[in-house]
Amino acid sequence: MAAAKPFRMGVIGTGWIGRRRALTCASHALVSELHLADVRAEVVEEVAAVTGAASWETDYRRLLDRVDAVIVSSAPETTHYPIARDCLAAGKHTLLEKPMALKLSEADDLLARARETGARLAVGYTQRFNPRFAYVKECVAEGRLGRPLTALVSRHLTRMLGEKIAGRGELGPAQMEATHDIDLVLWWMEGARPVRVYAQSVDGVMRARHGLPDCTWIVVTNHDGTAFTVGANWNLPLEAPGFSSTVAEFVGTEGAIFIDDSHRDLLLSTVREGLTRPLSTMPGEQVGHVYRGPMEAETLHFIEAVARDRPVLVTGEQARMVMEVTLAADLSAELGRPVELPLPPD
C-alpha cells in the first residue's frame, strides 16, 4: 500500500454542506491544515472557529496557494464551474458538489484542466456512499442479478428543502435531485450509455413561487436496450416520511433487489414540533460521536484518495454523462418529446 501523505485541504463555501465537510476534514489525521473560504465573512469565521482552521478568506482565490486539495461546496450552482476551473487550473485536487457545471462545454473545460494539471476531479454524488445503494453495485458486480435490465428510483423531498433549492436558481428537480439517482443507476449499470431521454414535469406549488415544476419523471434508454426510470419530487409536506424518502428497484435476468430508503424507521414526536423524522436528510447528520448518512464516508474517501494517490469513485467523466441526461430531461419536458443523445456542448 502506498504510504499516506498528509496534505493541506481547503473548503470553499461553508454553508450547510461545506460546514459538514470541513468538520470531517478537521478531525482527520491526514489533513495537516484546513483553510476555508466563503463570501459571507460571519459564516466562514464561525466555521473556522469550530474547526480550528488555520485561516479563512472571503475570496477563495487567496487560499489557493495554501492548499493541495479543495472541496467546492458553494451555492448557488452558478459558482461551481468558475471556482472549480480556478482550482483545477492551479493543480488542486478537487471534490466538487453536483451539478459539476451548468453547460456541457463547462464540464468539458473542467475535464480538460484536470487532465492538463494532473489534478484529481471528483464530483459529490454522495448517495454512492449509502451502503444500501453500494450493495446494489456489489450484487451486480458479483453477477448475482444476472444481466442488468432495468431500474426505478423514486425520490421525494419535503418542500422545506425544495424551497431552499428552488429558491436559489433556475435548476429544477432533474438537475438538482434526480441527478443523484441517475448517477446511481448509471453506476449500477456501468458500461451502459444513455442514448434517449423522455421526461415530463408537473407543476404544483413551486411554479408560482419559483418558476419551477414540483416534480419531473424521466425515462432513459441506453445503447444496449436497457432502460430505467427516475422520479424526483420536492413538494412534500414537512411531516412527510423524512426530509428525503426514496424507494429503488433494480432488475436483472437472474434476480432483483428492492430498497426502502424512506427513513420510516425513526420517528420523533414532541409536543412542540409534532412528528419529525430525524436523520433523514440526503447527506446525513452527526449524532453525538457517530455520523448517520453517506456524506462523511464520501469526504473520507476523497481525503484518502488524495493522501494515498488513489483514484476517486465518482469521476468527472461520469458526472458529465449524468449532467447530459439531466439537461436532456429538462429539454424533453419542455419540448414534450424524447431527446436523443449526445447533446451539443451548449
Ligand X SMILES: NC(=O)c1ccc[n+]([C@@H]2O[C@H](COP(=O)([O-])OP(=O)(O)OC[C@H]3O[C@@H](n4cnc5c(N)ncnc54)[C@H](O)[C@@H]3O)[C@@H](O)[C@H]2O)c1
282 binds ligand X (CB under 6 A): yes
**Cis peptide bond prior to 283, omega within 30° of 0:** no
Alpha carbon distance 161, 235 (integer Å)? 9
* Cell, residue 267: 420517528
Q: Is the dihedral of CA 197, 153, 133, 79 positive or negative?
A: positive
Alpha carbon distance 37, 14 (integer Å)? 7
57 binds ligand X (CB under 6 A): no
Interface residue with ligand X among 6, 7, 8, 15 (CB under 6 A) is 15
30 binds ligand X (CB under 6 A): no
- Binding part of the chain for ligand X, among 62-70, 71-79, 232-240, 321-329 by CB under 6 A, reads 71-79
302 binds ligand X (CB under 6 A): no
16 binds ligand X (CB under 6 A): yes
Would you give the binding string for ligand X spanning residues 79-98, x where CB under 6 A is met?
x-----------------xx
279 binds ligand X (CB under 6 A): no
List the interface residues with ligand X, window 319-338 (CB under 6 A). none
Closest separation in Å from C-beta 124 to ligand X: 5
Contact (Cβ atoms closer than 8 angstroms) between residue 224 and residue 206: no
75 binds ligand X (CB under 6 A): yes
Residue whose Cβ sits closest to ligand X: 15
- Binding part of the chain for ligand X, among 75-83, 114-122, 148-156, 193-201 by CB under 6 A, reads 75-83
Contact (Cβ atoms closer than 8 angstroms) between residue 178 and residue 186: no
Closest separation in Å from C-beta 146 to ligand X: 31
Contact (Cβ atoms closer than 8 angstroms) between residue 73 and residue 14: yes
242 binds ligand X (CB under 6 A): no
Closest separation in Å from C-beta 345 to ligand X: 22
Interface residue with ligand X among 25, 35, 67, 74 (CB under 6 A) is 74
Contact (Cβ atoms closer than 8 angstroms) between residue 329 and residue 199: yes
Q: Which residues contact 194 (CB under 8 A, 6 or more apart)?
A: 186, 220, 221, 222, 223, 321, 324, 325, 328, 341
Nearer to ligand X, 93 or 155 (CB): 155
> In the chain, which ranges are E strands?
7-12, 31-37, 55-57, 69-72, 93-97, 121-124, 148-158, 194-202, 215-222, 227-236, 244-252, 256-261, 268-270, 274-276, 285-287, 290-292, 339-340
126 binds ligand X (CB under 6 A): yes
- Binding part of the chain for ligand X, among 3-11, 67-75, 87-95, 138-146 by CB under 6 A, reads 67-75
Helix, strand, or coil (residue 43):
helix
Closest separation in Å from C-beta 12 to ligand X: 5
Grid-cell match 458553494, residue found:
74
Interface residue with ligand X among 9, 11, 17, 123 (CB under 6 A) is 17
Nearer to ligand X, 97 or 324 (CB): 97
Contact (Cβ atoms closer than 8 angstroms) between residue 165 and residue 187: no
Nearer to ligand X, 124 or 148 (CB): 124
Binding stretches for ligand X (CB under 6 A) = 12-18, 37-40, 43, 60, 73-75, 77, 79, 97-98, 124, 126, 282-283
